[in-house]
Amino acid sequence: MGLFDFFGGSGPEKALKLKPKVTQKYGDPSTRQKAIQQLGEMKYPEAVSVLLSRFTLTVEPLTTDADEKEHVFELIKGFDQDAIAPIQEFLRKSDHATSWALRLLGDLLPEPAVIGICVDTLTHLSSHYTRDPEKKVVLLHHVMGKEDPRIPTAVLPFLEDMSDDVKIAALKVLGPLKYEAAREPILKLLTSEETARRVQTAALAALQESGFNVQGFREKLEPLLVEPYLLDKSGVVVKRQA
């Protein structure tokens, strides 16, 4: 322990005390930038947590904002594996800057580990109310197109989310996965009177990609078909040939 650590000059407490400066939106930017640099030179998890808070605000001019965020990104990467736990905590607790957190994890961890964190976070979000749907959408977009058995069970609950954007993102994830347990929930969402038209269109696309039969829902579904979708003789949604 150094002399400054002993007197509380550069320990975890010092890192936490720098947060107001790091998140200072107005005033002299050099104050914020100096605090960022100080945090980058510390080796405490608390320093990573405070640095992450910089991603939650936008400052003017936007060129300065972008430069600072890239600098913060590189500083956090410098913590290497010590940054993982603070990033995970940030991802779970903050409704902002999800894409930055995922980008950092992508540079620090192998893809299966990142998918695992996304799945854990989505599972947590599916049982907790959040006012802003952006975080869910960003996480869903991140797992889109990925082949991992953990994904469909974590995504399925979002077909019942209050946000149409979240429902559409979930449908785009589930369609190509051909997850049998999603067949009926997708069909119920599509045929519900409360479902918005753009969500219905996304549900048709998901059914077409999945190849699921519409048995039990054909009568309700047929009036909802729009170009280029139609039902074939076997009761599967297909795209009309051009």
Q: Tokens 């994890």 belong to which residue?
A: 105
Q: Tokens 């959040």 belong to which residue?
A: 130
In three-state secondary structure terms, 213 is strand
* Domain co-membership, 55 together with 121: no
Question: Which residue type does 48 have?
Answer: V
The model's pTM is 0.90
Boundary residue ending a domain (43, 75, 109):
109
At 189-214, the pLDDT tens digits run: 999 999 999 999 999 999 999 999 99
* Domain co-membership, 201 together with 221: yes
At 88-138, the pLDDT tens digits run: 999 999 999 999 999 999 999 999 999 999 999 999 999 887 778 999 999
Number of domains, the chain: 2
* Domain co-membership, 96 together with 124: no
**Is 70 exceeded by the pLDDT of residue 8?**
no
The domain of 144 spans: 111-242
* Domain co-membership, 78 together with 116: no
- C-alpha distance across the termini of the chain, in Å: 72
pLDDT value at residue 10:
57
